[in-house]
A and B are shown apart, each in its own frame.
Chain A
Amino acid sequence: GAGVSQSPSNKVTEKGKDVELRCDPISGHTALYWYRQSLGQGLEFLIYFQGNSAPDKSGLPSDRFSAERTGGSVSTLTIQRTQQEDSAVYLCASSLVKGFHEQFFGPGTRLTVL
Protein backbone atom coordinates (compact mmCIF):
# COMPACT_ATOMS: atom_id res chain seq x y z
CA GLY A 1 0.00 0.00 0.00
CA ALA A 2 1.06 3.54 -0.61
CA GLY A 3 0.02 5.08 2.68
CA VAL A 4 -0.17 4.45 6.39
CA SER A 5 -2.88 1.97 7.24
CA GLN A 6 -4.61 1.40 10.54
CA SER A 7 -6.92 -1.29 11.78
CA PRO A 8 -9.60 -1.57 12.81
CA SER A 9 -11.19 1.60 11.51
CA ASN A 10 -13.74 1.46 14.29
CA LYS A 11 -13.69 -0.34 17.61
CA VAL A 12 -16.46 -0.45 20.17
CA THR A 13 -15.61 -2.04 23.48
CA GLU A 14 -16.92 -2.29 26.99
CA LYS A 15 -15.34 -0.52 29.90
CA GLY A 16 -12.65 -2.66 31.47
CA LYS A 17 -11.76 -4.60 28.34
CA ASP A 18 -8.36 -4.49 26.65
CA VAL A 19 -8.00 -3.29 23.05
CA GLU A 20 -5.24 -3.45 20.48
CA LEU A 21 -4.89 -0.95 17.67
CA ARG A 22 -2.62 -1.66 14.74
CA CYS A 23 -0.58 0.61 12.51
CA ASP A 24 1.23 -0.30 9.31
CA PRO A 25 3.58 2.53 8.39
CA ILE A 26 4.81 3.36 4.94
CA SER A 27 7.51 0.91 3.91
CA GLY A 28 10.96 2.24 4.67
CA HIS A 29 9.81 4.87 7.14
CA THR A 30 11.93 4.64 10.25
CA ALA A 31 9.92 6.94 12.50
CA LEU A 32 6.45 6.08 13.78
CA TYR A 33 4.15 8.16 15.97
CA TRP A 34 0.88 7.62 17.81
CA TYR A 35 -1.48 10.50 18.54
CA ARG A 36 -4.90 10.71 20.16
CA GLN A 37 -7.62 13.04 18.93
CA SER A 38 -10.45 13.59 21.35
CA LEU A 39 -13.67 15.37 20.49
CA GLY A 40 -13.14 19.11 20.35
CA GLN A 41 -9.45 18.80 21.10
CA GLY A 42 -6.33 18.88 19.06
CA LEU A 43 -4.05 15.94 18.55
CA GLU A 44 -2.26 14.71 21.63
CA PHE A 45 1.13 13.04 21.20
CA LEU A 46 1.33 9.61 22.77
CA ILE A 47 4.50 7.78 21.76
CA TYR A 48 7.30 7.91 19.19
CA PHE A 49 9.50 5.17 17.75
CA GLN A 50 12.68 5.87 15.80
CA GLY A 51 14.59 2.94 14.37
CA ASN A 52 16.04 0.74 17.08
CA SER A 53 16.18 3.51 19.68
CA ALA A 54 14.19 3.34 22.88
CA PRO A 55 10.74 4.82 22.25
CA ASP A 56 9.72 8.18 23.63
CA LYS A 57 6.77 7.29 25.84
CA SER A 58 6.40 10.69 27.44
CA GLY A 59 2.92 11.27 26.06
CA LEU A 60 1.27 8.11 27.29
CA PRO A 61 -1.49 9.24 29.68
CA SER A 62 -1.32 6.29 32.06
CA ASP A 63 0.31 2.91 32.57
CA ARG A 64 -2.75 1.32 30.98
CA PHE A 65 -1.34 2.47 27.63
CA SER A 66 1.55 0.71 25.96
CA ALA A 67 2.89 0.31 22.46
CA GLU A 68 5.39 -1.80 20.65
CA ARG A 69 6.90 -1.84 17.24
CA THR A 70 8.00 -5.16 15.85
CA GLY A 71 10.80 -5.48 13.35
CA GLY A 72 10.93 -1.75 12.89
CA SER A 73 7.66 -1.79 11.00
CA VAL A 74 4.19 -2.61 12.33
CA SER A 75 3.16 -1.05 15.62
CA THR A 76 0.48 -2.01 18.09
CA LEU A 77 -1.01 0.35 20.65
CA THR A 78 -2.57 -1.51 23.57
CA ILE A 79 -4.99 -0.01 26.05
CA GLN A 80 -5.70 -2.15 29.08
CA ARG A 81 -8.80 -1.90 31.24
CA THR A 82 -10.34 0.71 28.97
CA GLN A 83 -12.20 3.65 30.46
CA GLN A 84 -14.83 5.86 28.87
CA GLU A 85 -12.37 8.74 28.71
CA ASP A 86 -10.24 6.63 26.38
CA SER A 87 -12.86 7.12 23.65
CA ALA A 88 -11.14 9.01 20.87
CA VAL A 89 -9.65 8.67 17.42
CA TYR A 90 -6.18 7.18 17.56
CA LEU A 91 -3.95 8.31 14.73
CA CYS A 92 -0.70 6.80 13.59
CA ALA A 93 1.89 8.60 11.48
CA SER A 94 5.22 7.69 9.99
CA SER A 95 8.07 9.65 8.51
CA LEU A 96 11.04 8.76 6.38
CA VAL A 97 13.81 9.84 8.68
CA LYS A 98 14.33 11.55 11.96
CA GLY A 99 14.13 15.30 12.02
CA PHE A 100 10.80 16.87 11.15
CA HIS A 101 10.41 15.40 7.77
CA GLU A 102 6.79 15.21 6.76
CA GLN A 103 4.69 12.96 8.92
CA PHE A 104 2.23 10.87 6.91
CA PHE A 105 -0.93 10.07 8.83
CA GLY A 106 -3.19 7.07 8.66
CA PRO A 107 -7.00 7.38 8.66
CA GLY A 108 -7.20 6.58 12.36
CA THR A 109 -9.04 4.13 14.57
CA ARG A 110 -12.19 5.43 16.25
CA LEU A 111 -12.41 3.85 19.68
CA THR A 112 -15.66 3.97 21.62
CA VAL A 113 -15.72 2.69 25.18
CA LEU A 114 -19.22 2.02 26.47
Chain B
Amino acid sequence: AQSVTQPDIHITVSEGASLELRCNYSYGATPYLFWYVQSPGQGLQLLLKYFSGDTLVQGIKGFEAEFKRSQSSFNLRKPSVHWSDAAEYFCAVGHGNEKLTFGTGTRLTIIP
Protein backbone atom coordinates (compact mmCIF):
# COMPACT_ATOMS: atom_id res chain seq x y z
CA ALA B 1 0.00 0.00 0.00
CA GLN B 2 1.11 3.51 -0.68
CA SER B 3 2.35 5.64 2.18
CA VAL B 4 4.11 8.91 2.82
CA THR B 5 6.49 9.59 5.68
CA GLN B 6 7.47 13.01 6.88
CA PRO B 7 9.95 12.23 9.65
CA ASP B 8 10.14 15.73 11.07
CA ILE B 9 7.06 16.75 13.03
CA HIS B 10 8.36 20.22 13.82
CA ILE B 11 11.27 22.24 12.45
CA THR B 12 12.51 25.62 13.60
CA VAL B 13 14.77 27.73 11.42
CA SER B 14 16.02 31.29 11.54
CA GLU B 15 14.73 33.79 9.06
CA GLY B 16 17.08 33.89 6.09
CA ALA B 17 18.40 30.39 6.69
CA SER B 18 18.00 27.54 4.24
CA LEU B 19 15.32 24.93 4.66
CA GLU B 20 14.89 21.29 3.75
CA LEU B 21 11.79 19.30 4.63
CA ARG B 22 12.01 15.57 4.18
CA CYS B 23 9.49 13.32 2.50
CA ASN B 24 9.76 9.61 1.76
CA TYR B 25 7.11 7.65 -0.07
CA SER B 26 6.25 4.05 -0.66
CA TYR B 27 4.49 3.31 -3.92
CA GLY B 28 4.83 0.48 -6.41
CA ALA B 29 4.65 2.47 -9.62
CA THR B 30 5.87 5.82 -10.84
CA PRO B 31 4.55 8.25 -8.28
CA TYR B 32 2.85 11.56 -8.71
CA LEU B 33 4.24 13.71 -5.91
CA PHE B 34 3.02 16.92 -4.37
CA TRP B 35 3.88 19.42 -1.69
CA TYR B 36 1.10 21.47 -0.10
CA VAL B 37 1.29 24.25 2.47
CA GLN B 38 -1.38 25.01 5.04
CA SER B 39 -1.32 28.35 6.82
CA PRO B 40 -3.30 28.73 10.06
CA GLY B 41 -7.03 28.84 9.41
CA GLN B 42 -6.60 28.37 5.69
CA GLY B 43 -6.95 25.57 3.23
CA LEU B 44 -4.09 23.77 1.58
CA GLN B 45 -2.25 25.44 -1.25
CA LEU B 46 -0.22 23.54 -3.82
CA LEU B 47 3.46 24.50 -3.77
CA LEU B 48 4.68 22.18 -6.50
CA LYS B 49 4.15 18.82 -8.14
CA TYR B 50 6.15 16.13 -9.91
CA PHE B 51 4.62 13.98 -12.60
CA SER B 52 7.57 13.07 -14.82
CA GLY B 53 10.58 14.55 -16.52
CA ASP B 54 13.06 16.80 -14.79
CA THR B 55 13.56 15.57 -11.26
CA LEU B 56 14.13 19.06 -9.90
CA VAL B 57 10.80 20.84 -9.70
CA GLN B 58 10.31 24.53 -9.15
CA GLY B 59 7.28 25.79 -7.30
CA ILE B 60 5.73 28.94 -6.00
CA LYS B 61 7.14 31.17 -3.27
CA GLY B 62 10.72 30.19 -4.10
CA PHE B 63 10.35 26.52 -3.16
CA GLU B 64 11.81 23.60 -5.06
CA ALA B 65 11.82 19.84 -4.60
CA GLU B 66 13.94 17.04 -5.96
CA PHE B 67 12.60 13.60 -6.83
CA LYS B 68 15.12 10.85 -6.08
CA ARG B 69 13.78 7.49 -7.15
CA SER B 70 16.70 5.56 -5.64
CA GLN B 71 15.92 7.03 -2.23
CA SER B 72 12.12 7.18 -2.64
CA SER B 73 12.34 10.78 -1.56
CA PHE B 74 10.86 14.10 -2.58
CA ASN B 75 12.44 16.67 -0.26
CA LEU B 76 11.30 20.27 -0.27
CA ARG B 77 13.90 23.04 -0.17
CA LYS B 78 14.13 26.79 0.00
CA PRO B 79 17.43 28.70 0.03
CA SER B 80 16.28 31.49 2.34
CA VAL B 81 13.12 31.36 4.42
CA HIS B 82 10.91 34.32 5.24
CA TRP B 83 8.75 34.76 8.34
CA SER B 84 5.69 34.28 6.15
CA ASP B 85 6.80 30.71 5.38
CA ALA B 86 5.76 29.61 8.87
CA ALA B 87 3.05 27.04 8.25
CA GLU B 88 2.36 23.32 8.07
CA TYR B 89 3.75 21.49 5.05
CA PHE B 90 2.32 18.29 3.66
CA CYS B 91 3.85 15.88 1.18
CA ALA B 92 1.45 13.70 -0.81
CA VAL B 93 1.56 10.90 -3.35
CA GLY B 94 -1.13 10.51 -5.98
CA HIS B 95 -2.30 7.12 -7.08
CA GLY B 96 -5.14 5.07 -8.44
CA ASN B 97 -8.37 6.96 -8.85
CA GLU B 98 -6.84 10.38 -8.38
CA LYS B 99 -6.71 9.98 -4.62
CA LEU B 100 -3.94 11.59 -2.63
CA THR B 101 -2.20 9.98 0.32
CA PHE B 102 -0.76 12.62 2.60
CA GLY B 103 2.03 12.54 5.14
CA THR B 104 1.35 13.69 8.67
CA GLY B 105 2.88 17.08 8.00
CA THR B 106 5.82 19.14 9.22
CA ARG B 107 5.19 22.29 11.17
CA LEU B 108 7.67 25.03 10.33
CA THR B 109 8.47 27.77 12.82
CA ILE B 110 10.57 30.76 11.80
CA ILE B 111 12.55 32.66 14.41
CA PRO B 112 13.82 36.20 13.82
- Chain A residues closer than 8 Å to B100, beta-carbon distance: 33, 35, 43, 45, 103
Asked if B27 CB lies within 8 Å of chain A CBs, one says no
Q: How large is the interface on B (under 10, 10 to 19, 20 to 34, 35 or more residues)?
A: 20 to 34
Assess whether B74 is interfacial by the CB under 8 Å rule: no
Counting CB contacts under 8 A, is B53 at the interface? no
Given A41-B104, A48-B97, CB of A100 within 8 Å of CB of B32: yes
Residues of A within 8 A of B4 (CB): 42
Chain A residue nearest to B51 in the complex (CB)? A100
Report the contact-size class of chain A (Cβ under 8 Å from the partner).
20 to 34
Decide: A48 and B46 in contact? CB cutoff 8 A: no
Q: Which residues of A contact B101 (CB under 8 A)?
A: 45
The tally of CB-CB contacts under 8 A between chains A and B is 60
- Neighbour of A98 across the interface among B41, B46, B98, B105, CB < 8 A: B98
Q: Mark B45-62, 1 if CB is under 8 A from A, else 0.
A: 110010100000000000
Instruction: Name which residue of chain A comes closest to B41, CB basis.
Output: A107
- Nearest opposing residue in chain B for A91, CB measure: B43
Indicate if B25 sits at the interface (CB-CB under 8 A): no
Task: Bits for B19-54, please: 1 = Cβ < 8 Å to A, else 0.
Answer: 000000000000010001000011111100101000
A107 touches B90 (CB 8 A): no
**CB < 8 Å: which of B90, B98, B104 contacts A100?**
B98
Per-residue A-contact encoding for B84-112, CB less than 8 Å = 1, 0 else: 00000010101001111111110000000
- Among residues of B, the one whose C-beta sits closest to the C-beta of A55 is B97
Closest 5 CB pairs of A and B: A105-B43, A42-B102, A43-B102, A105-B44, A42-B104
- In the assembled complex, 21 residue pairs joining A and B whose CB atoms fall closer than 8 Å, in A order, are A33-B98, A33-B99, A42-B4, A42-B90, A43-B90, A43-B92, A45-B99, A45-B100, A48-B98, A56-B97, A59-B99, A93-B44, A100-B32, A100-B94, A100-B98, A103-B46, A104-B43, A104-B46, A106-B43, A107-B41, A107-B43
